[in-house]
Structure 1
Amino acid sequence: MGRTQLTLFATRRFLPLFVTQFLGALNDNLFRQALIMLITFRLAAEVGMHPAILNNLAIGLFILPYFLFSAVAGQLADKFEKSRQIFWIKIWEVGLMLLGLVAFHTNSLPLLVAVLSGLGLQSTFFGPIKYGILPDLMKPDELLGANALVEAGTFIAILIGILIGGVVVLQGDSGGLMISALMILVAITGVLSGSMVPKTDPAAPDLKLDLNIFRATGHQLRSAWQSPIARPAIIGISWIWLYGSIYITQIPDIVKNRLQGDETVVTLIIAGFSVGIGVGSLLCAKLLKGQVSAKLATPALWALGGVSLALCLLLPPAPEVDMSNTPLLPMAAFIASPVNILIVVALIGVAITAGMVIVPLYAVLQAHTPRAERSRMIAANNIVNSGFMAGGTIIAAGLIALGLTTTGVLILYAFANILILPAAKRLRERLNAL
């Protein structure tokens, strides 16, 4: 991590925003993982439904607001002063966490899912502000480093939320109350840090709001598609989010059915994957020396595909006999195998190269979008991200249902990186021509 990146933590221009977004990501994942574990081990049996169905429904309702309300969120972020919006969004989060306390106390599945959807809606409104305000607060040579820290912090927060949320909520009858108390404390701290984010002038105070979500969404997507810089940047960002979601979704199956590892091994690999994205985010800022550029995108995409294929070659074939009664390996036994260590290293390598692609593209999108339109462009990016992740996951599930192995899906997506290379090349050429 470069000196410039470290010094950002000593500034009021960056630290309050970083803490606020970190705590928001932490709370989202604390609640989401707690709900997934509660559904899996308790609530699904009580309502007589398969846990996978309920979990997918819950996650779908978390993502749905990104599709429906990102366009409105982007308009509000551009029209009004951003730091004040951050404060009130964090107050909103406290209210959701208090409602979550009631939901956990009563074990009400509908209320728990409603709170999760509310968190998705809150994140929908926070995202365009978070990425839209960074260029206002940062100097040009700080923007890439700030994005790297935000991205790294987000994935560390996701990791902590997954690890703590799933464990605490199942600690007897008091687990729900314990996780609720923690989330309320995190939300209140987020209000305090959010109140310290410096004020900025509204980007587009005269903007006329269009509250028709479908018309506004269509308009913002068209604007993004017509931009020679934004279009390839958004395609690249969305591809990496899709790629990451495919891996996170397949990791439990790979660990259990290919590597014969138990839940501690799943935790180890998800932790390594999250840290890897953070390392890649910081590494790209170091390599680019603060320059907002897309020149790393093409080599990083090639590396992403290559490391992914290497991982697939290391994975053992699917067992030909039923292994359901075979004892699963705990973490200590798993890492005793040199091949398994190589597999973990390869997975971390996938994450590092993904982080090296996504962070410069976020900085490009921010730096080369007019200030008056920046948050709306971020909102358009969020819509496309959600579409890519949903579509990619559905395609992967369909291919597996048709008989393709998990390894086959990963190989297919590794080769699909080639389809993104032209967009990366065009973006680099257009930036060089400016």
Structure 2
Amino acid sequence: MASNQDPSNQAPSKPLAPKEVCQFKLLAQKRFAPFFWTQFAGAANDNLFKFAFTVLVTYQLTISWLPAHMAGLVIGAVFILPYLLFSATAGQLADKYPHQLIIRRLKLLEVAIMVLAAVAFFFNWIAVLLLCIFLMGLQSTLFGPVKYAYLPLQLRPAELTGGNGMIEMGTFVAIVLGSLVGGVLIDAGSAGRIYVATGCMVLAMVGYWSSTRIPTMAATDPGLRINLNPFSETWKNLSIARQNVVVFRSVLGISWMWFVGSVLMSQFPVIAKEVLYGNTQVASLLLAVFAIGIGIGSLLCEVLSHKQVEIGLVPVGALGMSVFLVDLYFATRHLPDPGHLLSVAEFASSLANWRVMVDLLLLCLFTGLYSVPMYALVQMRSQPSHRARIIGANNILNAVFMIASAILTGLLLQWGLSIPQIFLVLALANAVVGAYVFLLVPEYLLRFVAWILTHLVYRFSIRGRENIPAAGPAILACNHVSFVDAVLLMAASPRPIYFIMDYRIFRNPVLGIIFRMAKAIPIAPQREDPAAFEAAFAKAAEALRNGDLVGIFPEGAITRDGQLQRFRRGLQKIVTDVQAEGINPPIVPMALSNLWGSFFSRIEVRDGQNVAMVKPFRRGMFSPVGLDIGPAMPSHTSPEELQKQVQALLEQAGQAQPSASA
């Protein structure tokens, strides 16, 4: 059948305008804005209080039982301890009760804690201030599962990465502002403590006011019986999280990010004073750079992922974290002692200090690229009725990692390691942990390969992404143009796809590794290997029974002339195998366009031969490639009807105007 599948002078079609809004426009919507500002005020208050208290103990007071060099670690550990003790209970509460009700009551609790802290600041009661740190940690513990369970209920799947990016950006901007204000207020002479107490109470009341604007919603599991035993419930939550391997490994990856981040955040006053020889304003400047980097990285996630949960960014983030931790070690290990504490102006006058700030900024930018997709993945793939408890399990592990971070950092300092040497240890450990997680969950590396292919090799445009089912079994049927068609479809889908692919492609030393990692299903012609033929269809049927996506190329082989070939009847066999069990998976037609003649497709050479993967730059870099996804068709659709629909998508792509990259 003739096809204008790949007109050389046409670019892929422009995506339909989605119903979802961009991440910044969420701030104008009631479903998101009040929650954002409630979270923002809470994060600012936490850090105003913690940072002011840390500076007070580090710079202004001499306390025998709380040495200055250990103050940040101790305060951080006390704040995190409730996460370890009460996260399991917090997850249950967030599943059982309406989210807006929990948030409002927690903001009232925050007001009460700040009143107690104000009294403690006035009378200089350090032990009571530590108690308030613990209580603020408890309030944050109870808020955590609500925070991350709320977003998937209010945002569409394509908005989830952007929404998480906004929350992460807002959180770290709040850290900046809270820490800066805390440092300035506590440094304002004898009245500094009163200023800090007043600022904390004002932020608590602003947070409560904003929480009253959060829309009402139903509880996700109102019949849940609360188990008050934190130990048994913690084990139960961890068991729930472990049921989904990808989710649980992602939770571990998030916890590792907090391990690394807590070392930096708890040590900023000490880093500023003992490594960079700066005053309290320099410590605040470092926090500002830290938060700005996280914010930029978090916002970049939506830009780089094009409105889907793109975990291919996670390896990019992990690599960047290690690179800039190493350079931070080299940048700080031999800084000269000026003999006095530097002001911000004096600090900024040194080129060496600018290198430190750039390293810190880029380290945090890559941390944002690392963390936001992981959070979005956990939210998207967790069962809604158990989502808050899984997030509770995440918070438990975060707490364990952060407390372990504080303990190990303290031990390393006691054993004589310098802070720059700790940066180097973190860099090496991050590389090892990253490699371990990505080998355990190959999906991260696969999505990384897909991201590279669709951003650096091709300029990939997608139309109709919303036609891929967000849940449940489905068959994705696409024309077959190149050896990387499966990788391109992988990049377009927020869910994993189990591909049925010609067994010969697995012989390629590079692509074979990729497709084995993707758990692709090799298929051989029935006349050549009947057992392998039947095994392939059995595995495809099993994937559909499990509610997964199955990808198939009905032509049976890569096109040799750039035209659409006759669709074979293997797809009908897959459908027939599961229909007997009452499963009727929809068939989603897909059409790759403008791919013929690229490096990974075949191309006609002399003597009528067709070869692939020769002359890598024969179409240049960033060659435009398109994917059009049509509405789902019923499972009884014949191969001829499906072929007509794919043909129509190809013709539509050929007539479209050039589109923006997706």
Q: TM-score, normalised by structure 2?
A: 0.61
> Structure 1 residue 141 and structure 2 residue 155: aligned?
no
Residue 424 of structure 1 corresponds to 438
> Structure 1 residue 392 and structure 2 residue 409: aligned?
no
- Match for residue 4 of structure 1 among 4, 18, 22: 22
The whole-number CA distance in structure 1 between the counterparts of 2:187 and 2:274 is 25
Deviations 1:331-389 (A, max 9, x none): 32333333332221111110100011001100000010011011111111111111111
* SS of 1:196 mapped into structure 2: coil
- Match for residue 303 of structure 1 among 320, 326, 341: 320
* SS of 2:22 mapped into structure 1: helix
Q: TM-score, normalised by structure 1?
A: 0.91
- Match for residue 37 of structure 1 among 29, 52, 55: 55
In our comparison, the structure showing a higher alpha carbon Rg is: 2
Deviations 1:220-241 (A, max 9, x none): 1222233212211111111111
Query: Once the 2 structures are TM-superposed, how far is the Cα of residue 330 of structure 1 from its aligned partner?
Result: 2.9
Residue 38 of structure 2 corresponds to 20
The whole-number CA distance in structure 1 between the counterparts of 2:290 and 2:423 is 15
Query: Once the 2 structures are TM-superposed, how far is the Cα of residue 205 of structure 1 from its aligned partner?
Result: 1.2
Q: 1:190–1:255: structure 2 CA closer, same or farther, 3 Å change rule?
A: closer
Query: Once the 2 structures are TM-superposed, how far is the Cα of residue 262 of structure 1 from its aligned partner?
Result: 3.8
- Match for residue 95 of structure 2 among 78, 81, 86: 78
Counterparts of residues 94-173 of structure 1 (less than 5 Å): 94-173=111-190
Q: 1:100–1:399: structure 2 CA closer, same or farther, 3 Å change rule?
A: closer
Q: 1:234–1:5: structure 2 CA closer, same or farther, 3 Å change rule?
A: same
> Structure 1 residue 403 and structure 2 residue 416: aligned?
yes
Residue 210 of structure 1 corresponds to 227
Greater share of strand residues, 1 or 2? 2
8 Å Cα contact 1:261-1:329 kept in structure 2: yes
The whole-number CA distance in structure 2 between the counterparts of 1:95 and 1:211 is 24
* SS of 2:23 mapped into structure 1: helix
Deviations 1:188-225 (A, max 9, x none): 22111101111222111111211101111111122223
How many residues align? The count is 428
Q: 1:133–1:401: structure 2 CA closer, same or farther, 3 Å change rule?
A: same
Q: 1:61–1:79: structure 2 CA closer, same or farther, 3 Å change rule?
A: same
Q: 1:123–1:49: structure 2 CA closer, same or farther, 3 Å change rule?
A: closer
> Structure 1 residue 341 and structure 2 residue 354: aligned?
yes
* Aligned sequence identity (%): 36
Please, what is the CA RMSD of the aligned residues?
2.3
Q: 1:174–1:77: structure 2 CA closer, same or farther, 3 Å change rule?
A: same
Q: Which amino acid aligns with 1:175?
A: G
Larger mean CA deviation between 137-146 and 59-68 belongs to 59-68
Q: 1:180–1:216: structure 2 CA closer, same or farther, 3 Å change rule?
A: same
The whole-number CA distance in structure 1 between the counterparts of 2:410 and 2:335 is 17
Return the structure number with greater relative CO, CA threshold 8 A, min gap 6. Answer: 1
The whole-number CA distance in structure 2 between the counterparts of 1:69 and 1:164 is 30
Query: Once the 2 structures are TM-superposed, how far is the Cα of residue 244 of structure 1 from its aligned partner?
Result: 1.3
Deviations 1:139-191 (A, max 9, x none): 11111111101111111111111111233134344333322222222212211
Q: Which amino acid aligns with 1:37?
A: V
> Structure 1 residue 279 and structure 2 residue 296: aligned?
yes
The whole-number CA distance in structure 2 between the counterparts of 1:311 and 1:202 is 46
- Match for residue 223 of structure 1 among 235, 240, 250: 240
Larger mean CA deviation between 252-261 and 382-391 belongs to 252-261
Q: 1:370–1:261: structure 2 CA closer, same or farther, 3 Å change rule?
A: same
Query: Once the 2 structures are TM-superposed, how far is the Cα of residue 313 of structure 1 from its aligned partner?
Result: 2.8
The whole-number CA distance in structure 2 between the counterparts of 1:78 and 1:177 is 39
- Match for residue 331 of structure 1 among 344, 348, 368: 344
Q: Which runs of 5+ in 2 are unaligned?
A: 1-19, 448-494, 498-547, 549-662
8 Å Cα contact 1:277-1:352 kept in structure 2: yes
The whole-number CA distance in structure 1 between the counterparts of 2:261 and 2:365 is 11
- Match for residue 104 of structure 2 among 87, 112, 117: 87
Residue 377 of structure 2 corresponds to 364
Deviations 1:258-309 (A, max 9, x none): 4444443332222111110111000112100121121111122112212222
The whole-number CA distance in structure 1 between the counterparts of 2:428 and 2:380 is 30
Q: Which runs of 5+ in 1 are unaligned?
A: none
